[in-house]
């Protein structure tokens, strides 16, 4: 966050100095052109950093983490996001931590890692029933019995083409 602030300030200073130099070269330019250029540098770099966050973070993920859900968001205080929503959160399935139930081979326990802008990384467990195309978050009070039955929650049916379900149930 601090590096993004420094980068935005550098962009504002660079464009402001460029406008100042142009104003000295061409005296007909108005004085407010320097302030306008600095503001454009600050706002433009901030917008670019917001939109580039997902690409920067996802490019650094190890190959064992597969992105399965992306949350795009439009916000009133950022009106440009209504034209192109920003990717503010995404979830990745960690294939290194996938465990198959010993009694029910179609039942898997997967680890989901949640990445969110300006938030620490979080992880959680999800039980996935590949045979019945359903899943349930494993939270306090939810358990999978040794026989492979669910206790403490209701299964959620996964939709058609659900990337989380497909990634969890993919062999190999």
Looking up residue 134, the CATH number of its domain turns out to be 2.40.128
34 close to 23: Cβ distance less than 8 angstroms: yes
Position 172 pLDDT exceeds 80: no
Position 171 pLDDT exceeds 80: no
* Predicted pLDDT of residue 71: 93
* 36 lies in the same domain as 103: no
* 71 lies in the same domain as 18: no
Q: Strand locations in 102-144, DSSP E?
A: 107-116, 122-129, 134-138, 143-144
* 81 lies in the same domain as 159: yes
Of 59, 89, 104, the residue at which a domain comes to its end is: 59
* 74 lies in the same domain as 144: yes
Indicate the average pLDDT of the chain.
Answer: 90
* 121 lies in the same domain as 153: yes
How far apart (Å, rounded) are the C-alpha atoms in residues 15 and 35?
Answer: 9
- 16-58 pLDDT, tens digit each: 999 999 999 998 889 999 999 999 999 999 889 889 999 999 9
> What are the residues facing 2 on neighbouring strands?
none
What is the helix, strand, coil percentage profile of the chain, to 5? 35, 30, 30
The parent domain of residue 94 ranges over 65-169
* 117 lies in the same domain as 33: no
* 52 lies in the same domain as 81: no
pLDDT band at 152 (very low <50, low <70, confident <90, very high): confident
Of 59, 76, 106, the residue at which a domain comes to its end is: 59
* 55 lies in the same domain as 72: no
* 45 lies in the same domain as 127: no
* 125 lies in the same domain as 76: yes
* 117 lies in the same domain as 86: yes
What's the predicted TM-score (pTM) here?
Answer: 0.80
Instruction: Count structural domains, the chain.
Output: 2
pLDDT band at 105 (very low <50, low <70, confident <90, very high): confident
* 86 lies in the same domain as 51: no
Of 12, 33, 59, the residue at which a domain comes to its end is: 59
* Predicted pLDDT of residue 146: 81
- Mean per-residue pLDDT for 132-160? 86
Distance, CA of 13 to chain centre: 30
Nearest CA among 109, 159, 158 for reference residue 138: 109
pLDDT band at 4 (very low <50, low <70, confident <90, very high): confident
Position 145 pLDDT exceeds 90: no
What is the number of residues in the chain?
Answer: 172
């Amino acid at each position: 966050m601090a590096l993004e602030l420094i980068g935005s300030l550098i962009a504002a200073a660079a464009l402001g100095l460029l406008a100042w130099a142009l104003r000295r070269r061409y005296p007909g330019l108005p004085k407010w052109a320097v302030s306008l250029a600095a503001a454009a540098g600050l706002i433009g770099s901030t917008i670019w950093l917001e939109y580039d966050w997902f690409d920067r973070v996802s490019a650094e993920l190890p190959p064992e983490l597969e992105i399965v859900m992306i949350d795009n968001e439009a916000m009133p205080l950022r009106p440009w996001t209504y034209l192109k929503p920003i990717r503010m959160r995404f979830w990745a399935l960690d294939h290194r931590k996938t465990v198959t139930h010993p009694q029910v081979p179609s039942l898997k326990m997967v680890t989901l890692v949640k990445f969110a802008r300006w938030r620490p990384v979080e992880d959680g467990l999800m039980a996935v029933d590949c045979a019945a195309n359903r899943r349930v978050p494993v939270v306090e009070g939810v358990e999978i019995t040794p026989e492979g039955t669910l206790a403490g929650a209701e299964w959620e049916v996964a939709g058609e083409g659900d990337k989380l379900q497909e990634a969890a149930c993919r062999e190999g």
